[in-house]
Each structure stands twice: as structure tokens, then as C-alpha cells.
Amino acid sequence: MNDQYKNSYKATAKELVSLSVYNVGYQLCDAGYQWGPGIRDHYLIHYVISGKGTYEVNNETHFLSAEDAFLVYPNTEIIYRADAKTPWEYAWVGFTGSDAATILQATDFSRKHPCIHAVPNGEEVKRQLLHIYDARGNGFEHAVEMTGRLYTTLALFLKSSTQKETQLTAATYVQKSIEYISANYSYPITVEDIAAYVGLSRSHLFRSFELVLQQSPKEYLTDFRMKQACYLLEHSNLSITAIANSVGFDNGLYFSKTFHKKKGASPKAYRIKIRGTE
């Protein structure tokens, strides 16, 4: 008799928002059930409800059991496998968005330590994950409710964090910077503007971004603008000049050079390729 059960939901579209649920579910696995080797294109948190299993990442094997949690990072090769004798049951949520990295940086998850053993408020984490699943649906109201419950779930990991205050402070500054960028990227803002808004020197802001995101504020701002430009090239009929202005460039030539450097193609060529039309 096969005792495996799986209940899952996957969103049909991922929007350009600060945080959104990509998939959510829970599963009682068959003995030895394995996913991978493979990669995900989003973050993924699993919380182990019962049983045992292993999580392999970065050439290390982590042994997990009830009340443990593990984090999958985007574009990182992984394998996770249920125990052969007492296979695990887990709940999970996959998510994307500009808030994800900064929030996770303030938890006890890290690339070096992607597992948390004996999650202090594990029962509440499990409850919130199941609440996200209960809120599933493709309507806008479902997306808002799932995202709200995801924030609540992540907040539980923040509350139990043992991170050093300096890292938590850096994450706070970066989060505030990202909020400013999200609201003002269409204007010709600079790193100095961001630093002034957050209340830091440019060098202090740089160190905070390097600690949390492993990139500079200027790199993040440029990447954010290019992401918005890609969206407009794919989903609008705006001219290249109009798109440049819409994402904070007052010089169309500089926009095209920056876009080509980041994407390996001119804005026009990118649009033709993504749409498959002239």
C-alpha cells in the first residue's frame, strides 16, 4: 500500500512585486522519495512535520527530523531525500521577490548554514504554512492573502533569529533602501540619494549592501531598473526612449549601452527575441 500523499499549489504567474508565493503544499513522502539533483528558480522553505530525511547542498549532507527546517536558494543544485525507514512529512512554501533576500539575511538561514534544527516556534511555522495553502488561488485577493501569510511565516523566523545585531541592522538599512528604489527608480535617483534617504554615508550603505546582498547599491539599482525595462519591452509598445525615461535614464544612448552590458543584447534586439516578432 502506498501511504504517500501530496497536496500542492503553484501560482500561474509571478509578478514583479516585493514578495510573492510561487508554490505551497505539504507531503507525506514514500520511503526513499527523492527530489533532485536539480535547481529551483526561487527560494523554498521546507518545515519537517514528522519523520526523517537528508538535504544535500554545496557538497554537504544535512540530516533532518521533525521540527527542523531547510532553505533552498535559487539556482543552487540540491538533492533532498526521505529516510528509507521513517520517511518525512513536510510542509513547504516557495517564493520570490525583492524583499526575500533581505528578510532571509536577517534569519538564521544562510548559504553556509541552510538548515535550522529544532525551530523554536515550529508549530506556529507549520500552522502558517498550512494557512498559506488554505489561501491558495489565482485571484488577486488570493495573491494578497498568501503574501500576507508568507510575511507572517518569515516573521516567525526573524523572531527566533540569533543573528548578530550588526547583520540585522544592515538588513534593515538594505530593506529601507530597496523600498526607496522600488518607489523612485523611474526618477534619475543616485546612490547618494538612497544613502541620504536611509540616513547613512555612501560608504556605510555600500558595506551594508555587500554584507546582505553581496553587491553594491549601484549594482542593485541598475539591476532593478533593467528588470523593469525587460518587463516593459515584453509587455508594452513603448518606444525605447520612453522605456529609458520610465526606468530613470534621461539619456537613451546610455540606457541602451547599460542594457546591452547587462543583457547581452540591445533593447530592440531583446524585444524582438522575447516577442519573436519584428
Domain boundaries, the chain: 5-159, 166-275
Paired with 91 in beta bridges are: 26, 47
Q: What is the pLDDT of residues 180-195, one digit of tens each?
A: 999 999 999 999 999 9
pLDDT at residue 119 is higher than 70: yes
Q: Which amino acid, one-letter code, is at 213?
A: L
pLDDT at 160: 78
pLDDT at 277: 58
pLDDT at residue 159 is higher than 60: yes
**Model confidence band, residue 1 (pLDDT cutoffs 50, 70, 90):** very low
Distances from the Cα of 118 to the Cα of 22, 69, 205, angstroms: 26, 8, 34
**Model confidence band, residue 266 (pLDDT cutoffs 50, 70, 90):** very high
Q: Which grid cell is 134?
A: 488554505
Alpha carbons 52 and 64: distance in angstroms, whole number: 6
When the pLDDT of each residue in the chain is averaged and rounded to a whole number, the result is 89
Element (H, E) at 36: strand 34-38
Beta strands 5-10; 60-65: pairing state: unpaired
For residue 195, the SS3 value is helix
pLDDT at residue 31 is higher than 50: yes
pLDDT at residue 30 is higher than 50: yes
Positive or negative, the CA dihedral 127, 132, 134, 135 is positive
Considering only residues 64 and 2, tell me which one the structure prediction assigns the higher pLDDT.
Answer: 64
pLDDT at residue 120 is higher than 80: yes
In CATH, what is the architecture of 5-159?
Answer: Sandwich (2.60)
Q: What is the pLDDT of residues 33-69, one digit of tens each?
A: 999 999 999 999 999 999 999 999 999 999 999 999 9
Alpha carbons 150 and 2: distance in angstroms, whole number: 31
Mean pLDDT of 208-217: 88
Distances from the Cα of 205 to the Cα of 105, 166, 179, 187, angstroms: 16, 13, 14, 20
- The count of residues in the chain is 278
Put simply, whether the predicted model's pTM sits higher than 0.75 gets the answer: no
pLDDT at 2: 45
Q: Which amino acid, one-letter code, is at 153?
A: T
Q: What percent of the chain has pLDDT over 70?
A: 91
Q: CB under 8 Å to 228, separation ≥6 — which residues?
A: 16, 185, 246, 247
Q: Which grid cell is 39?
A: 535547481
What φ, ψ does residue 90 adopt, rounded to 5°?
Answer: -140, 160
- The CATH code for residues 166-275 is 1.10.10.60
